[in-house]
Amino acid sequence: MNARTMNANTMNANTMNANTMIPSIDCNIPDWLQECLNGRSPESEAIATCTTDNSLICQAFEFANELHKGQTRKSGEPYICHPVAVAGMLRYLGGNSAMVAAGFLHDIVEDTHVTLDDIEQRFGAEVRQLVEGVTKLSKFNFSSKTERQAENFRRMFLAMAKDIRVIVVKLADRLHNMRTLEHLSEEKRRSIALETREIFAPLANRLGIGRFKWELEDLSFKYLEPEAYREIQELVAQKRIDREAQLAEVTEILRDRLDKIGVKCYEVSGRPKHLYGIYQKMQRRNKGFNQVYDISAVRIIVDTKDDCYRALAIAHDAFCPIPGRFKDYIGLPKPNRYQSLHTGVIAHGGRPIEVQIRTVEMHHIAEYGIAAHWKYKESGGSSNLKVTGDDEKFTWLRQLLEWQSDLKDAEEYLESVKDNLFDEDIYVFTPQGDVVALTKDATPVDFAYRIHTEIGNHCTGARVNGRMVTLDSLLKNGDIVEILTQKNGHPSLDWLNFVKTSGAKNRIRQWYKRSHRDENIARGRDLLEKELGKNGFESLLKSEPMQAVALRCNYHSVEDLLAGLGYGELTLNIVVNRLREGVKVQQKIENVADILPVPNVMPARPIPSSSPSKSPIAGVEGLMYHLAGCCTPIPGEVIIGIVTKNNGISIHRQGCSNTDNVPGDRLVPVSWNAPDRNGGRPNTYPVNIQIEVLDRVGVLNDVLSHLKDNHVNVRSASVKTYPGLPALIDLCVDIQDKDQFERTSMQIKKMSDVLNLRRLSEGN
């Protein structure tokens, strides 16, 4: 997103947001930058030779200030306010000079004539890499259609893997833009706020940057649900005096008791919970504001881990603990490395309050997240923070990167992203005592696949806490899970009905596809051959354009592509269209039909859309004709006519195998007339389809609902079931045209229970 479209608040540099300690920076030069500028002379050496931190930072500021001169934001303020604010946040997080410089320069490439090569020449490769990464992220649209959204996620995670600081710069950019959102149109505000809440706030949470996460959520809440935001804001303000009095009393009691037993305490303070957190609790528990008592918390910061548990004992001794409200995130850290003790107690007056206890280091990690873990490469003085195999902080990111090559379906990949970014985690143990983080409501099968794919594939049973359980049992925090395996064990498609994690679902489907690989390859070949024709088909499969199509669709080989096509992972249209594009580029010709193999038939004669005709087929006026049952053509598909002995002209889809050996003198060029738009019911044409689904109650009704939503009539339906295998639904439906058929088929394929959908012809 181009930051120029945003506006800036005219806030004093010392002004604080109500829910954060990050200073909001106005157009005045902040003190830290002024100190840097005062520490260097304008007559210093050339930028390329600068070695000190302040020198690089100052040069970046002056360069950005000069290039953005004359540019303004929506509020009318100088545009330089935005880069200064972003750089200030990055410095606040502890970023090094290259990172702060990138904050000044992050909009330069988009908004000025300066190139990335210019930035590298002036500021070095490290700054160039950060600016380039942020510039690419700014072009991603996460609210687009599923396939494009998934591709943008893939690219974003790849950029993060190369250098995690790229997304931190982007988060600072987004936070300042969210702070300065009010001058945009309501539609634009809602769009940006929705993307922030769904994408960037969860990313800040995963990176452990609590201060960014809370403010991003509150600002999104403000613009997405303004009435609820104002209501909670007013209610919190009304209770402020009572709350502050209660917090002061609790903190005083805890501070005195900690001093008496000699626990070194750096801070005992009260704070209100952020507004969106209160709102979420009200929604989750279906309670009113007056029923949510713990809207504030007391934080105790001590010296050592042992002191944390001693302070916990003091809190429980001073106040009555609430059963079930104790959480030990020190022994079991969150995936973003957050560590703290949380406990709920009843304060004087009978009101609940949360107490959080942590060390200084834990507090630093909770506030700054990944910024508290910067690792610098020793070679060359570079400070790229890359995702390494032994770094537990990035397990979730490595997993998403690994799945990029496995998950071809955009919706499946987005589901895995959701699992890793948004869902709440539980913690269970292996029999050896290792901790495994899983999605809430995960099952032993999810656990098995998290340990290893082969353990999941051969899983036959499970013990939880020493007792045998069914494989669909829900795991809880602290469970000890043991998986039983057998060599001849294999996944059941029924598992897809209850597993929770995307990784388990993906691996179950992968096993099924591999076990039916030959069948899927044959089906894919058949589909592609019918579309392109037999002439030269084998040589086409071995051609460079075909291999390029496979790679473009994220398959290693053409055989893998055919298997994916046969299984239904991708559509025939995608393969054919990309193949035609590839051939056109390679041969540098305009008419791809000259080199793509097509049946030995005459080309269909185009008919102008304005041509009046009572018959849907142009080219058979006055003649008897019928639609061939072998390929059941529908409007929008290229067709060809064949003169028969007794049944007039038979209309086939071009590429139908029954047209391959027909002599040319029996072929008739035909095409579809434009549909009559002058009222009346549109013509429909029968199409037979077969849907492979998981055998469960109600799946046929769900399929029929999708057909109804798309105004598709069902002529006949039958269901075949087989013990332990998928069910087959055979349907004959009335279709108006190719677009309606493809749209309906795509919606049905997206159903979680649908494994495959294919169009049937006579004889198959």
Which residues are part of the catalytic machinery? Answer: 110-111
- Distances in Å between the Cα of 157 and the Cα atoms of 168, 398, 402, 590 are 13, 9, 11, 37
Task: For residue 645, report the phi and psi dihedrals to the nearest 5 degrees.
Answer: -75, -40
- Pair 133, 113: CB distance under 8 Å: no
Rounded CA gap, 380 and 382, in Å?
5
In total, the chain counts a number of residues equal to 764
- For strands 459-464 and 481-485, give the pairing: antiparallel
- Pair 579, 586: CB distance under 8 Å: no
Following DSSP, what letter does each residue of 387-407 receive, concatenated?
--TT-GGGHHHHHHHHHHHH-
- Distances in Å between the Cα of 283 and the Cα atoms of 278, 287, 296 are 9, 7, 17
- Pair 420, 156: CB distance under 8 Å: no
Q: Could you tell me which of 596, 658, 598, 602 has the C-alpha nearest to residue 627?
A: 658
Rounded CA gap, 709 and 697, in Å?
20
AA identity, residue 168:
V
Rounded CA gap, 371 and 357, in Å?
21
Query: 399 burial class (0-12, 13-18, 19+ CB within 10 angstroms)?
Result: middle
What the block records as the tokens of 163 is 């250098």
Rounded CA gap, 438 and 421, in Å?
12
Long-range contacts from 142-145, C-beta under 8 angstroms, 24+ separation: 142/195, 142/198, 142/199, 143/191, 143/194, 143/195
- Distances in Å between the Cα of 22 and the Cα atoms of 87, 176, 177, 182, 216 are 12, 10, 14, 19, 12
AA identity, residue 86:
V
Chain centre distance of CA 422: 10
- Pair 465, 480: CB distance under 8 Å: yes
AA identity, residue 270:
G
Following DSSP, what letter does each residue of 443-496 receive, concatenated?
-HHHHHHHH-HHHHHTEEEEEETTEEE-TTPPP-TT-BEEEEE-TT----GGGG
Task: For residue 103, report the phi and psi dihedrals to the nearest 5 degrees.
Answer: -60, -40
- Distances in Å between the Cα of 164 and the Cα atoms of 135, 149, 207, 371, 627 are 15, 20, 9, 10, 59
End-to-end CA distance of the chain: 51
H or E segment at 714? strand 713-720
3-state SS assignment for residue 438: strand
Rounded CA gap, 252 and 254, in Å?
6
Half-sphere exposure of 549 (CA within 13 A, CB side): 31
3-state SS assignment for residue 239: coil
- Pair 425, 440: CB distance under 8 Å: yes
Chain centre distance of CA 35: 41
SS3 content of the chain, % helix, strand, coil (to 5): 50, 15, 35
